[in-house]
Chains A and B, each alone.
Chain A
């Protein structure tokens, strides 16, 4: 139960919205539910639905709509590389190919040790600092800009140690 596990955080989230806007707490609560395992399971969706007095379907509809919520367990850390037009004009596609080649996986796949999933994502508002990506994991979301494949592989090593 989210409210048992994170009582302080839940209370703080609910306090941000007026009584008629209680449902606004849904998205922050989903981030909280996703914090440890990196995905949102069915039990958490039920729990949040009850807390906000909405249906599980409404919760699932929101989870499915937004790209930063995940319903499946994948790598502990996600490396989300922007391959949109402005980044691609600065070499993002080649960076992605080289990174995947070095890790021996394809876009959307996870390294065999479960440490890292590589994903292609849309614009992250860092077009002047491409190639760039964000990592999404237990520590939240972090930006990594003006990256090279070498620097990224070092980062992956660090994440692996953190996963082990």
Chain B
């Protein structure tokens, strides 16, 4: 299949401006600014059925249409915080095909009437931020960014902004707080960012991969985009495949591709030809899918079908767990991650992840009794539905699903 996002895999040097332009790049942006009204751009994206690729899967065009046109100026922010354990797709886009991402951000900026766009990158993406700064400077020199673009009255500037190590900043309101120079702690919603966002102004925030789809949609049309994927989830998705597979990596595939195709056709199968025991389709935030029946691998990876397995597709960071892994070890890892990353603002998450981490540590070290496993499940369930943002909720997913679906692993390590 020819890639539409990871195009650098077929077109060498597409990260060079001249090569990007030669391959049709920036025509969609110029066309939008000179020939289309902003709401017409939004309509194309809406009709394409594109859904946010950061994890929540919210329809992108609909989000753009929520921007408050009574309050100005507007801002747009690209979420390049990519921090979910198991996700590494935005990095490859920004390194390999940066101009397509930037053009998507530029088209989005025009659609929502923003004259300033920020790219919020996790602090570890220091080198990527430097590279993007150079690309942005080239776009300015060539007249694609700056004042009165193409002789219209539309102006646009893009700035990169580095975080400094905090998973929570991928949550969009925590990201805005961080971008404002504060601790990255989520805001109480409503109001939502399209009404009150950066500097209390209307703001649209989308994931890097979401933006990267936009130039191709504008060039080829909404119908073309909808011809890929499923009716509910059109288009392609980058699946970040990791864990115990032979060939981990990013695979751009239509939404609705099966787990089997991803793991065996693309990922080369499980290491040492072992069995898939569990799948975490949304990184560390996943409910574990119990693979006790081979047919489960034929499930299509889209939002609806994965939900039927009592999990979520999320950002499609698919972690493969084989039969060498014990779940008491696995959740000890995930819970420590969330305990470390909890921002401390709301009590259920701050205290819940803390106590869960003590319990998972104790269980994993063989010091716990059966009652501790029940207590852990109880703490996790008490947290659910009570946290200010999704982080607290996510921290319970692997805990609850592994105890309910892989209880024998816990019975094996607790004292009688």
On whether the two chains bind one another, the answer is yes
Expressed in whole angstroms, the Cα–Cα distance for A94 and B250 within the complex equals: 25
Is A85 in contact with B181, judged by CB distance below 8 angstroms? no
A86-B242, A86-B243 are known contacts. Are A24 and B181 too (CB-CB below 8 A)?
yes
From B91, B182, B337, A125 is in contact (CB under 8 Å) with B91
Is B166 in contact with A89, judged by CB distance below 8 angstroms? no
Q: Which of A2-10, A100-108, A110-118, A139-147 contacts B (4 or more CB under 8 A)?
A: A139-147
Chain A residues positioned under 8 Å from B85 (CB to CB): 84-86, 122-123, 127
Is A65 in contact with B183, judged by CB distance below 8 angstroms? yes
Q: How close is A89's CB to chain B, nearest CB, in angstroms?
A: 5
For window 281-298 of B, CB contacts with A under 8 Å fall at 283-284
Is A67 in contact with B164, judged by CB distance below 8 angstroms? yes
Expressed in whole angstroms, the Cα–Cα distance for A67 and B244 within the complex equals: 29
Chain A: number of interface residues, binned into ranges: 35 or more
Q: How close is B102's CB to chain A, nearest CB, in angstroms?
A: 16
Is B319 in contact with A86, judged by CB distance below 8 angstroms? yes
Chain B residues positioned under 8 Å from A129 (CB to CB): 248
From A20, A28, A54, A58, B162 is in contact (CB under 8 Å) with A28
A152 contacts the other chain (CB 8 A):
no
Expressed in whole angstroms, the Cα–Cα distance for A58 and B177 within the complex equals: 13
Chain A residues positioned under 8 Å from B334 (CB to CB): 85
For window 173-210 of B, CB contacts with A under 8 Å fall at 178-184, 198-199
A158 contacts the other chain (CB 8 A):
no
Expressed in whole angstroms, the Cα–Cα distance for A44 and B319 within the complex equals: 42
For window 56-106 of A, CB contacts with B under 8 Å fall at 58, 61-62, 65-69, 84-86, 88-90
B64 contacts the other chain (CB 8 A):
no
B366 contacts the other chain (CB 8 A):
no
Is A90 in contact with B127, judged by CB distance below 8 angstroms? no
B54 contacts the other chain (CB 8 A):
no
A25 contacts the other chain (CB 8 A):
yes
Chain A residues positioned under 8 Å from B249 (CB to CB): 128
Most buried by B among A25, A31, A127: A127
Is B91 in contact with A69, judged by CB distance below 8 angstroms? no
Expressed in whole angstroms, the Cα–Cα distance for A142 and B11 within the complex equals: 26
B404 contacts the other chain (CB 8 A):
no
Most buried by A among B87, B123, B244: B123
B321 contacts the other chain (CB 8 A):
yes
Most buried by B among A28, A68, A90: A68
For window 140-188 of B, CB contacts with A under 8 Å fall at 159, 161-167, 178-184
Which residue on chain A has the smallest CB distance to residue B73?
A18
Is A52 in contact with B181, judged by CB distance below 8 angstroms? yes
From A16, A24, A88, A125, B88 is in contact (CB under 8 Å) with A125
Expressed in whole angstroms, the Cα–Cα distance for A23 and B180 within the complex equals: 6
1/0 per residue, CB under 8 A from B, across A136-163: the answer is 0000111100000000000000000000
| A-to-B contact residues, CB < 8 Å | 16-18, 20-21, 23-28, 30-31, 52, 54, 58, 61-62, 65-69, 84-86, 88-90, 121-129, 134, 140-143
* Closest A-B pairs by Cβ, 3 of them: A67-B165, A66-B164, A26-B181
Seed contacts A123-B86, A141-B123; 14 additional CB < 8 Å A-B pairs? A18-B116, A23-B182, A66-B166, A67-B164, A69-B165, A84-B333, A86-B283, A89-B244, A122-B341, A125-B87, A125-B88, A127-B243, A128-B241, A143-B127
